[in-house]
Amino acid sequence: MKRIYPDYYDKFHCIADKCTITCCQEWKISVDDDTNRKWKKLLPPDSISEQKKNLTAYTYQKDGARVIRLNKDHRCPFLSDEKLCHLVITYGDSVLSETCTLFPREIHEFSTHDEVALMPCCPAVIDLWREKSIEFPVASAIIDHVSPLFLIRDNLIKLFQDKSLSIEEAFLEGFYILLELYKNQPVTPSQIHEYFSKDTLHELHSALSDIHIPASDTFAECNELLQDLAVNYRKEGLYTRFLQPILTEAEKSSEISHASWDSFCDKMADYDMIFRNFLTNELFSDLIIPANVSNALEHMVMQMQWIIIEYTAIRQSLFLWCSCNGASTLTYETVRDYMVIISRMTGYDDDDIRTYLENSFAELIWDWGYAALIVGTCD
Ligand code: SF4
């Protein structure tokens, strides 16, 4: 089976003890059945302070899955003070669960080919995206008999890589086309080519550039969304260091001035490439899933909405961070922290995304106008 991956993929390595936000804390770390069977027969390493009868005794069932029980500081009990794994030190890599072995890699097995990518929940991955624009394999051109969905995805990636458009414009134009394709199913390759043709994109760009959403409306709605997204994490006391200051700021600010938004957008411009890499990577890895879903295009629209929520939540967090710190500059480390934290907070599986969208909005599939409200403009 042919396997395709973005050009940065082989460059990744875990920076372990140098990691600023290790994946071994404040997270649900799953333990698969095969690993659990092995763990029942293994004693905990002597170096762990709280000794139990076997490794399974450090796990429990949560939301239908077996996960490692974190300690009172929300850290994995196997994580050493030097941020190394006691299990790996004692038993070697093969003792790890599938989740720990794979992270931050993501593998999708389609009937025509396999795809692999890395997830943005790891700071070492974001560091790779700081160097240059990512190149993605164009599945619709190199894989035989792929579904037309790959052609849509390849065109959307191209749209987000087009630096003549701002990221916000790419979202609004891409989402508009996606909705049109969704409404006019079944779609053919020639329709997709037509929607993404130079002329159609030019017309669409002119039409959409006449629409202006006040920055204060975008700000107020994104504030609500961010607070809603953070409710459970706040309740469980997770990511407090990152969430507490910005949520306090969100609660006291309901309005912003154009000047403060414009000045924030200037700061964001310094990270344009990294955000484009982040978003194109999300499109590549999330828009199409291998599972047979009854309406694959609906799934694609739903995932696009989720990527919009993820991006606007990061942008909102950074705006609030600048406001509460009175910051005149936005450092790379801050941008990276919030990319990692928000992508961990939004790292839901497909069913959970669907449930979240169904419970939070009047309809599963938004009107284009709602996307325009939360995306707004930032250039
Ligand atoms: S988040 Fe990434 S760099 Fe940090 S410990 Fe996990 S895999 Fe390693």
pLDDT value, residue 270 = 96
pLDDT value, residue 292 = 73
CA-CA distance, 229 to 235, in Å (whole number)? 12
Ligand 1, CB cutoff 6 Å, lining residues: 14-16, 19, 22-23, 103-104, 122-124
Model confidence at 302, in pLDDT bands (50, 70, 90)?
very high
Q: At what angle do helices 167-183 and 296-325 cross, to 10 degrees?
A: 160
pLDDT value, residue 289 = 87
Closest residue to atom 4 of ligand 1, CA basis? 22
pLDDT value, residue 242 = 96
Among left, alpha and beta (phi > 0; psi -120 to 50; other), residue 266 is alpha
Please state whether beta strands 114-118 and 105-109 pair in parallel, antiparallel, or not at all (unpaired).
Answer: antiparallel
Residue ending a domain, choose from 102, 128, 159: 102
List Cβ neighbours of 131 (8 Å cut-off, separation of 6 or more): 8
List Cβ neighbours of 48 (8 Å cut-off, separation of 6 or more): 77, 78, 86
> Which domain, by its residues, includes 369?
146-379
* Distance from Cα 23 to the centre of ligand 1, integer Å: 5
Q: 71 and 187: one domain?
A: no
* Distance from Cα 95 to the centre of ligand 1, integer Å: 17
pLDDT value, residue 210 = 86
**pLDDT digits over 73-93, tens only?**
999 999 999 999 999 999 999
Q: What is the mean pLDDT of residues 291-318?
A: 93
- What is residue 117's three-state secondary structure? strand
Q: 360 and 283: one domain?
A: yes
* Distance from Cα 18 to the centre of ligand 1, integer Å: 9
**pLDDT digits over 21-68, tens only?**
999 999 889 999 999 999 999 999 999 989 999 999 999 999 889 999
6 inside domain: no
pLDDT value, residue 326 = 83
Query: In angstroms, how far apart are the furthest CA atoms of the chain?
Result: 68
Q: 96 and 157: one domain?
A: no
pLDDT value, residue 288 = 95
What does pLDDT average to over the chain? 94
Model confidence at 295, in pLDDT bands (50, 70, 90)?
confident
C-alpha distances in Å from residue 277, one per residue of 124, 133, 163, 201, 312: 14, 6, 12, 22, 15
pLDDT value, residue 294 = 77
pLDDT value, residue 247 = 96
pLDDT value, residue 249 = 94
79 inside domain: yes
Q: 326 and 194: one domain?
A: yes
Q: 97 and 230: one domain?
A: no
Q: 155 and 288: one domain?
A: yes
Number of Cβ within a 10 Å radius of residue 192 = 20
Number of Cβ within a 10 Å radius of residue 272 = 13
Which atom number of ligand 1 is nearest to the Cα of residue 340? 1
Q: 96 and 171: one domain?
A: no
**Residue % of the chain over a pLDDT of 90:** 86
Which residue has better confidence, 10 or 49? 10
Number of Cβ within a 10 Å radius of residue 172 = 25
* Distance from Cα 350 to the centre of ligand 1, integer Å: 24
Q: 292 and 225: one domain?
A: yes
Question: Residue 359: is its pLDDT beyond 80?
Answer: yes
How far apart, in Å, do the first and last CA atoms of the chain sit? 43
**pLDDT digits over 271-280, tens only?**
999 999 999 9
Residue ending a domain, choose from 49, 73, 102: 102
Characterize 114-131 residue by residue with b for buried, 16 or more Cβ atoms within 10 angstroms of its Cβ, and e for exposed. ebbbbbbbbbbbbebbee
**pLDDT digits over 216-255, tens only?**
999 999 999 999 999 999 999 999 999 999 999 999 877 7
List Cβ neighbours of 261 (8 Å cut-off, separation of 6 or more): 215, 219, 319, 378
Q: For the chain, what is the domain count?
A: 2
Which residue has better confidence, 124 or 258? 124
109 inside domain: no
Q: Whole-model pTM above 0.85?
A: yes
* Distance from Cα 241 to the centre of ligand 1, integer Å: 18
Q: 260 and 377: one domain?
A: yes
**Residue % of the chain over a pLDDT of 70:** 100
Ligand 1 mutation target, pool 15, 20, 344, most atoms within 8 A of CB: 15
375 inside domain: yes
